Amino acid sequence: MPRFIAFVVCAVLAYAPAALAQVPAPTDHTLTAPDGLKLKATYYSAGKPGPAVLLLHQCNRDRQSWSRLATAAASRGYHVLAMDYRGFGESEGTRFTDFQEQQPVVEQKWPGDVDAGFTWLTSQQGVDRQRIAAAGASCGVNQAVLTASRHPEVKTVLLLSGGLTPAAREHIRKTPSLSVFAAASHDDGGIVEAMRWMLGWSGHPGNKMLEYKAAGHGVEMFAVEKDLEPAMLTWLDTRLRDAPNMTTAPAAPSPGAAALSEFWDVLARPDGRARARAIIEETRRRDPQFILFPEGELNTYAYQVMQNGAPEHAIWLLELNVEAYPKSANTYDSLSDAYLAAGKRDEALRYAEKALEALKTDTQAPDEFRALVRESAEKKIRDLRGK
């Protein structure tokens, strides 16, 4: 028996030895995207009536990365479909090596592709069409939530190591009946803080977040943290299969969700600095662990403000980021960019130098990103010193 197959079989037996013999073997299928492109998927039938789960892989893997979880879920009564995005695995489509080049395809084509998988899955015999879950890892996180936004039959989402676009985040905010399971690792950049922030927008009272110290990214965590897959299966049982009423929502947003909404509204105002600081202090007193803004989200927003011709506004946004994340070299480099855009050369030079100094102890950023920050800061320093 090949080593990989033996590993999968042993893992499945560990999950559900009694039910395994009753589950049909997984079957591969070809789906048709709205534009006619062919997508490959694997279906894991429960062999009896039950809820369904759609699995969306991360962008450095394919649908096979879900095989162990999918098999275990089928043995517990779930109909599961794992599909390859276009350009990945066995699906047709252009293979991109540049993330920016791929983005138009992700935004314009992937929703229709995922919907083709959703439609196929929910048309299978025995699927409870009112009890559906979507799970995603990394780039699949956003796709899972966007799937829920298009299909109210999706009652819960399971998200590993990923962030959300504003549209997906808005769905989380306005749909407190959607329960969220999230997991991330502290050795994966700032993803833990980003996912805590994401959960803060949700009004569902039963959300769950698992945080690990050094488990890696997305489905890589399965190999390190043996409790993660069982925790996901238990979540599905509790929040999907056995849940008597999945439309119950809290009467009002939680204090954290209300603070988040006000805070980001205030950030959009050029004169909002004082109120933003007050919200930060109020939130810190109420819950020191609550995340009002991840570094990356505020950084991205500040650059949007800067590009819209408001560098002074961007300066105080990025000053908040420096205060909240003083160990990040990128926060200083970004603030240097804002000062430069505002024509304040002395301040721009000072913060470019601070960025280089912070790089000596910034252990969170990946090496490739650290190199980009160094290159950016050093170029500004040369230009501002006239050398």
Q: Which helix (H) or strand (E) holds 291?
A: none
Enter the tokens of residue 134: 């979507």
Structure confidence at residue 246 as a pLDDT band (50, 70, 90): low
Q: Which residues pair with 160 in a beta bridge?
A: 137, 183
How many other C-beta atoms can be found within 10 angstroms of the C-beta atom of residue 107?
11
CATH architecture of 3-241: 3-Layer(aba) Sandwich (3.40)
pLDDT above 70 as % of the chain: 92
For residues 374 and 237, give the distance between their C-alpha atoms in angstroms, rounded to a whole number: 48
- Amino acid letter for position 260: L
How far are the Cα atoms of 141, 176, 255, 386 from residue 169, in angstroms, in the given order?
11, 12, 18, 44
For residues 265 and 335, give the distance between their C-alpha atoms in angstroms, rounded to a whole number: 21
Q: What value does the mean pLDDT of the chain take?
A: 91
Three-state DSSP class for 82? strand
pLDDT tens for 133-144 read 999 999 999 999
For residues 347 and 333, give the distance between their C-alpha atoms in angstroms, rounded to a whole number: 11
Q: Model's pTM, two decimal places?
A: 0.84
The conformational region for residue 135 under phi > 0 = left, psi -120 to 50 = alpha, else beta, is beta
Domains in the chain: boundaries: 3-241, 255-385
pLDDT tens for 56-113 read 999 999 999 999 999 999 999 999 999 999 999 999 999 998 888 999 999 999 999 9
Say which CATH class 255-385 falls into.
Answer: mainly alpha
Region of poorest pLDDT, from 156-165, 258-267, 306-315: 258-267
pLDDT tens for 200-233 read 999 888 999 999 999 999 999 999 999 999 999 9
